Structure 1
Amino acid sequence: MSGDDPALRRPVLVGANPGLQLFDADGGCTGYASVWRVDWSRQHGAGTALVLWQPDTVRVLSSDLALARWLAEDFTRHFPELDGLPWPAPDYQREPVELAIDLAAGMHARAGDVEVQLSGVLDVRAVATEEFPLGSVPHSLRLVLAPCRTGRLSIGGQPVPGQVHRSGTPSRPSSSAFLAEAEVWSRVPER
């Protein structure tokens, strides 16, 4: 078997990672939130974090700043939603993250003055990819995806402007507001 055989990859993180990306009328990203619930990780154990991207700032909130830094720098900053967008030096803030995920209804997360809500689940399906590059490090990703009809991001009680983009087909809808549950990230073993 080859060294990059997916069957030889070892899990590095198990958990959930719902996300919300909002867009202005011209298609520009006005805000992105990546909410993490890590049930297990080889490097940093378990915990929660919220990564908030806005055009001029990145805030990362968590009770565990080592876990939060790993999630923001090794995962979130490499996600396709942020491809081509600036990544200012993150502001790490020690704040507990309250998180409730329901694959039938949506999600609610709060950390400090940041609140994220997803609702109107459109579909629930399994997704797998053997080639999900995080920077230059190839990973496999398996998860349960649930695109949502609506999403709301607010800071200090004020909504971040922008709309959710929905696309796809009735039998396979897609949305920039989504639940991602039962995530398993695996990495190619080092030689």
Structure 2
Amino acid sequence: MTRSRIATQPSSRPGAVGRRSVLLGAAATGAVTLAGPRAALAAESPASDPATRKPVLVGANPGLQLFDEDGACTAYASVWRVDWSPHGTGDALVLWQPDGVTVCSSRRELARWVTEDFTRHFPELDGLPWHDPVYRPWPVLLHLGLADGLVARAGTIEVRASGVLDVRSFTTDTFDLGGSEHSLHLVLGPCAEGSVRVGGRRLPGQITRGGTPERPSSSAFVTEAEVWRV
């Protein structure tokens, strides 16, 4: 569902608030209380005992979200490295744009699962239109590290995140995915820079950064040691 420390100032862009990047930047360890509509949805859904939950995905899910000057989302990229799951292993790249969703992977069944059961329900996409994804059989070439960030390429798409600002852990037992409450643990690295290119053209928009010098947050981040349980 991970980054040399430099000072950052809280972002004033509306789109920077309430997104998954801010949620992940909210805590170092321990359970986190969700805010807003997703918290209400999670509270209304039947809750399983976190102690009995089983892993359904082990891997990493770095990503980034771009915003225009008015705070509107211009693009969101969700990159998956699945080391273990009931649907097998492999990599996938999900790119949301206002006019469509593109999913790239040489493992279509796996890509469909992480797209429809995970990425589609992430807070970054709350209130944004969801189009039927176009699946491309393009393998994902992925370099991911807590020290130096992310480079992911698939076909004509390239996603980059760099300048890791901090490395800290995150845990919650109340991450709602389409009405199903999940437990999530990961190591997070918010990043100072991020971009998406399609066909060599850089997509419009910028990442947002906020938080404090001691606990920076960013809409571009890398993760490691990511475990989803249900």
TM-score (norm 2): 0.79
SS at the partner of 2:116?
A: helix
Work out which of the residue numbers 76, 81, 92 in structure 2 matches 1:32.
76
Q: 1:150-169 residue pairs with structure 2 within 5 A?
A: 150-169=193-212
Equivalent in the alignment of 1:179: 222
Deviation for aligned residue 1:80: 0.5
Alignment pair present for 1:110 and 2:153: yes
Q: 1:93-104 residue pairs with structure 2 within 5 A?
A: 93-104=136-147
Greater fraction strand: 1
Q: 1:25-174 residue pairs with structure 2 within 5 A?
A: 25-42=69-86, 44-174=87-217
CA distance in 2, matches of 1:62, 1:23: 26
Deviation for aligned residue 1:4: 2.0
CA distance in 2, matches of 1:27, 1:180: 24
CA distance in 1, matches of 2:94, 2:225: 19
Amino acid at match of 2:94: V
CA distance in 2, matches of 1:136, 1:111: 31
Unaligned runs of 5+ in 1: none
Unaligned runs of 5+ in 2: 1-46
Greater fraction helix: 2
Alignment pair present for 1:14 and 2:52: no
The one of the two structures with greater contact order (alpha-carbon pairs below 8 A, sep at least 6) is: 2
Deviation for aligned residue 1:21: 0.2
Deviation for aligned residue 1:7: 1.3
SS at the partner of 2:118?
A: helix
Percentage identity across aligned positions? Answer: 66
TM-score (norm 1): 0.95
Number of residue pairs matched by the alignment: 184
SS at the partner of 2:80?
A: strand
SS at the partner of 2:120?
A: helix
Runs of 4+ in structure 1 off by over 2 angstroms are: none
Map Cα deviations across residues 97-143 of structure 1 (whole Å, 9 max, x no partner): 00011101111000010000110000000000100011011100000
